[in-house]
Amino acid sequence: VVTDELADFPADPVDREPARPGRVRPAYHRVADELRSRIVAGALACGERLPNETDLGRSFGVSRSTVREALRVLASQHLVTTLRGVHGGSFVTEPDPASVIRDLGGALGALALTPTLGVEDLAEARLLVEPTAARRAAERGDPGAVRAITAAAKVEPNPDDGHRAHLDFHAAVLAGAGNILFSLLITPVLEVLRSRMARAPITRAELNEVHGCHQHIAAHIARGEAVQAEEAMRLHLVELAPFYRRALWIG
């Protein structure tokens, strides 16, 4: 006799796609929901290995294919990682800011193609967060972060690298603020701007001015001059704004 653990599994309000009433929730969703709630509730510890797909299917009363579809969903949400081989299987993944940033970047990229999210919104968010990030980085004075910021400011700008050096500097400042939420929101924003500015015409003079600004800001941060760092970053972003408007072919 196969025990069907899903038969009367109660509704779990957390993190689920909302299902219209009356609509039948497919089995792979129910399996994914159940495993997810076990993971977030801590019943399955980080790094712990799940039973193999065959056993999972048996215990849920579903086929292996159904289990696999559920695992694909959980893997996309960075809740499990599955490996092949003898010591393979599905393992509970530890939360990782980098993957959240990647996902948010993709989502913002999609939203930026709609009227929901304009370039002004991206610029406004930068102007709100980045000066504060510069100030916090200067206040903290974390040696590693300061080193990273200084190094990023030193990189010679190259028109061919798609503003990579430029954005790396800003990402370094955000990381230096010591609040992961700053990077979390703005790094994807930078990525969206970068993808939009690819191959935008930019003169050598403009590039050099930006480079100078960066070194100026980095120097303030390195000397722990919080207020000056904040103001320099604000000025930098304000000066950059018209360039964005000119360079962007959308919005």
Of 25, 49, 58, 78, the one binding a second copy by CB under 8 A: 78
Number of H helices, E strands in the chain: 10, 2
Query: Cα 243 vs. chain centroid, distance in angstroms?
Result: 26
Helical packing angle, 204-222 and 119-140, nearest 10°: 40
Q: Which is nearer to a second copy, 169 or 182 (CB)?
A: 182
- CA-nearest of 166, 170, 169, 210 to 186 is 170
Q: b or e along 231-240 (b: 16 or more beta carbons within 10 Å of the residue's beta carbon)?
A: bbbbebbeeb
When the beta carbons of 97 and 212 are compared against a second copy, the nearer one is 97
Token reading at 200: 């935008």
77 binds, among DNA, a second copy, none (CB under 5 to 8 A by kind): a second copy
Q: With contact defined as beta carbons under 8 Å apart, do 74 and 80 qualify?
A: yes
The whole-angstrom separation of Cα 26 and Cα 4 is: 15
- Distance separating alpha carbons of residues 139 and 142, to the nearest angstrom: 9
| By the rule CB under 8 A, 27 interacts with a second copy | no
User: Residue 68 interacts with a second copy (CB under 8 A)?
Assistant: yes
State the nearest-atom distance from the C-beta of 170 to DNA, in Å. 36
Residues 163, 149: Cα–Cα separation, whole Å: 16
87 binds, among DNA, a second copy, none (CB under 5 to 8 A by kind): DNA
**Least distance to DNA from the beta carbon of 87, Å?**
5
Q: How far is the CB of 9 from DNA (least distance, A)?
A: 13
244 binds a second copy (CB under 8 A): no
| 180 binds a second copy, rule: CB under 8 A | yes
Q: Which 33-62 residues touch a second copy, going by CB under 8 A? A: 40
Which residues form the interface with a second copy (CB under 8 A)?
A: 14-15, 17, 28, 40, 65, 68-69, 72-73, 75-79, 94-95, 97, 99-100, 102-111, 113-114, 116-117, 121-122, 124-125, 128-129, 132, 179-182, 184-185, 189
